[in-house]
Amino acid sequence: MTGICTGRVAVVTGAGRGLGRAHALALAAEGAAVVVNDLGVAADGAGGSAGPARQVVEEIRAHGGRAVAHTGDITTDDGARSLVTTALDTFGRLDALVNNAGFLRDRMLVNLAEDDWDAVMRVHLKGHFLPLRHAAAHWRAETKAGRTPDARVVNTSSGAGLLGSVGQANYSAAKAGVLGLTLVAAAELARYGVQVNALAPAARTRMTERTFASTMAPVEGAFDAMAPENVSPLVVWLAAADSAGVTGRVFEAEGGRITVMEGWRPGPTLDKGARWSPTEAGEAARGLLAAAEPARPVYGAS
């Protein structure tokens, strides 16, 4: 198979269903050998099965591609290490890491249990950090050995991480953390030939079917704007050598739309040159807010 990822090896976490599956298939279609990671859990993280990962591997191989399943838990150090080792032992190299694994434990803040908070932080944030750390250690070793990689990392954030989402305090906080991790990793890993970017996708998956149930049903014969496969072309390009020079950026992708997101930037400012009194500070803040762009509403806010 040939394409813009020919000769490259990509790891995709959470690749047994939804967006991860679409990414894995699209990477393989463009020539990449793919490590398909998935625990096969339910939408809330319960249970587990090797079936989803193996099924995606079979799909890739049926179309002439190369793939191997990895069913380890990438939120543990051993599982994340074995993920990287699987790529190296099976295909001899690692060129791209697509961090995508996740699940939901949605509750309003006052009903959000500590276990629900910890579980979502573990899979979304720690599940990004540990694979990234082990992949980065490999790429650093390659650089020190005189073989500077041309490597890529694509992290998965969310509109909830950009704006917040009512009923998803844990998920929003974790996905905002992914953005911070992306920016730091892009700065730190550039010296090792690694580019790191983040994506905030919108698509029809198990995680979103209840949220968008009224707007997500595809119309026969029309463009299915919520299909996960619409997001994957950008992921493939970000994982390819063609994306040279693009790092530390955040994209939104939905249907046929791609948006470069522009994060926190200084807006109106006022410097007194001395300490403010509380009243003065309040007056200054109100004046600055009047001159600033209005904040975008949190998803689900009335």
287-295: Cβ within 8 A, 24+ apart: 291/267, 292/267, 292/268, 293/267
Tell me if residue 158 is catalytic. Answer: yes
Structural domain contains residue 257: yes
pLDDT of residue 219 exceeding 80, the answer is no
Q: Please report which confidence band the pLDDT of residue 78 belongs to, taking 50, 70 and 90 as the band edges.
A: very high
Task: Confirm if 162 and 118 have CB atoms less than 8 A apart.
Answer: no
Distance CA 200, CA 230 (A): 13
Instruction: Name the domain count of the chain.
Output: 1
Please determine, for residue 214, whether its predicted confidence score (pLDDT) is greater than 70. no
Is residue 49 over pLDDT 90? no
DSSP letters of 239-284?
HSGGGTT--S-EEEEETTEEEEE------S----SSPPPHHHHHHH
* Cα–Cα distance for residue pair 20/25, rounded to 1 Å: 9
Catalytic residue among 82, 165, 171, 172: 171
Work out the mean pLDDT of the chain and round it to a whole number: 92
pTM for this prediction: 0.91
Contact (CB, 8 A) for 178 and 124: yes
Cα–Cα distance for residue pair 86/37, rounded to 1 Å: 10
Of 82, 157, 175, 192, the active-site residue reads 175
Cβ(287)–Cβ(267) below 8 Å: no
In a domain, 102, yes or no: yes
Cα 3 to Cα 19, 62, 72, 132, 172, distances in angstroms:
20, 17, 29, 25, 35
Q: What percent of the chain has pLDDT over 90?
A: 83
Of 158, 172, 232, 243, the catalytic one is 158
Q: Residue 248 is part of a domain; what is its CATH number?
A: 3.40.50.720
Domain coverage including residue 145: 9-261
- Domain assignment present for 173: yes
Residue 296 within a domain? no
In a domain? residue 299: no
Residue 219 in domain: yes
Query: Does 119 map to a domain?
Result: yes
266 in a structural domain: no
* Catalytic-residue membership of 175: yes
Find the helix or strand (DSSP H, E) in which 20 lies: helix 18-29
